[in-house]
Structure 1
């Protein structure tokens, strides 16, 4: 065994060994030199620069670097879509309220105008005629139907009738009705009487004597005569005449 160190032998090896240049025909240009202390990789970026840098060293082909894919941003979460239906419904309700207020205001204005017109020109209420009469038992009258005259031809108190009287006696009246203008409605249902205490009595056929007053309408120049009767206590009486419009036409005072 030789005592000479290995690095001083004919085959020089060690960390300071550098491969020869392109001096041999059989040199492998793709062979990587062994890595060791003091060796600088000239083909890797960041470890000595460009692979062709340096002097006298082998030139190695540059391998392409794979391209790194660009990181894709994850999709950003979208906020919830706003529902416009509540706003539309609110606007519709406001429109309805405004329309109701406008209609109510119009009706109120028309009602006030109508009330003002009625107050300015009130409808006349027919009153018993104040025209002078021909005597104590005759009176002229005027109503919305027409004008005429009511005459009490005769009157009588009796207890004789188809049935006995219930309230005292039968007051039998013979009446004459004439029309001078327009039309005059007549009939037993258009007459009532009041006694001295203010009680109201309707006509009855039980104590009436013929000819009975019929129902009808008189025109200008026409006259009708007939009898009516009342079951009531004997005494002073007020005879009230009305028409088909339920208007009080006139009244006559009948003394006992």
Structure 2
């Protein structure tokens, strides 16, 4: 039976300022975890440490062994590809260790199937630098999925996507997690998207993980007002999931 991924983080800093206190995360197999918090809370710093790209390194352990950096599918925020690689070639680079002088037909078929799944098949021969930001973001998510990582760590994976593709990508990440048992840890600004697709929500605020739990237990009006400085209105979608409508707090509305 798949085991939980254990992540131990030291204190994290941005320059000389401490952003986040030491903490421990346990991610269950196939779990989708949303990382949320106000601007500057340390979401990107935490993901970079997990991916091995920060001065402080996280310790990741799965089934009693240390997880290698190559087993983490990390997608940074606002990352762009300016190379003339085709979309298909970019995807195949997700398994660059398996590539030789000739690419196995099996890998090409798998890559093409994934492009179809993401609605990107018609872009397979297009150069990456000719794509829009949203198209690039979807291709790069596909590349990380194609790598079959033990953990997907994504920083704002829907930031450049329109509404349809936001839902499509989040649904795909849920399916991928459940199919492969690899957990997904994604920093999200859209709290309604987090509430709809995440099994758990981690709230980063005040230099610590301030809350950890099911979306409805964590994304309370009191917590949203405190950390996001809004007067939230929480509605219900037709599937029963909460929809968070932000309003300016009356205390923050300037007098006219």
TM over 0.5: no
TM-score by length of 1: 0.21
Q: Which has the higher contact order (CA 8 A, sep 6+)?
A: 2
Greater fraction of residues in helix: 2
TM-score by length of 2: 0.21
